[in-house]
Homo-oligomer: A and B are copies of this chain.
Amino acid sequence: MLTLFHQPLCPQSRFVRIALGEYGVVPNLADERPWDRRQEFLVINPAGTTPVLVEDGRPPVAHPAMIAEYLDETRGSGLGEHRLLPQEMAARIEVRRLTMWFLEKFHTEVSGPLVLERVFKRHMTVKQGGGSPDIDAIRAALSNIRYHLAYIGWLVRTRDWLAGPRMTYADLAAAAHLSSVDYLGDVPWHEDESAKTWYARVKSRPSFRPLLVEMHAGIAPSKTYADLDF
């Protein structure tokens, strides 16, 4: 049995949910509010971050990039040539590079601040860092997203998928992070048609569907969030 401790609009959690979907695995989902620093959760992951994947008989796996490695090592061969982390070394390097780009750089510059300022802060106490959103942080993220979207567009104009000829973890990481931002209506899709077309393809995956039908935190999703033909 697999349990995923996640936070619904946390983009790192979404990446793992989509990946699990691609492996055909349906985990128990445990909603976790990392800002509460719940004692039992800190025992599972002392770093206090979501997501954390717990599989019976194994230590908990934290950090989205390490969960991706774990899933590939335990279930990757079952996907055959659709493996999300390719076997061939050059492809492997490129998939990991772009996966980290979104899990780290895009998260720091775009999805992390937007979700924190617009969603999480509403639920946090003042002591936890809650309060009114930092408008400057939002403005910076909205400016940063434009060059990331252009980068995605550039990549998929030269390749079928972000990291090469097949869909990989890189696509799932990028799409997961974009989906959190898209929920909030903050993706300027009109700026890059190639990026938009690529996202529509990832969004159409059955693995994505569960995320598109949820409503979170009393915030309605943007009009086109669940629309496969946005």
Query: Could you say which of B73, B93, B100, B105 contacts A89, with CB atoms under 8 Å apart?
Result: B73
**Number of copies of this chain that the complex holds:** 2
CB neighbours of A92 from chain B (8 A): 73
Q: For chain A residues 50-91, which have a beta carbon within 8 Å of chain B?
A: 58-63, 65-66, 69-70, 73-74, 89-90
Expressed in whole angstroms, the Cα–Cα distance for A69 and B72 within the complex equals 13
In the complex with contacts A58-B89, A58-B90, A89-B58, A47-B96 CB distance below 8 A:
no
For residue A62, which residue of chain B has the nearest CB? Answer: B97
> In the complex, which of the residues B59, B96, B97 contacts A93, with contact meaning CB atoms closer than 8 Å?
B59
A189: interface (CB < 8 Å): no
Chain B residues closer than 8 Å to A65, beta-carbon distance:
65, 100
Partner of A59, one of B60, B94, B104: B94
With A63-B100, A65-B65, A100-B63 in contact, is A93–B105 under 8 Å at CB?
A: no
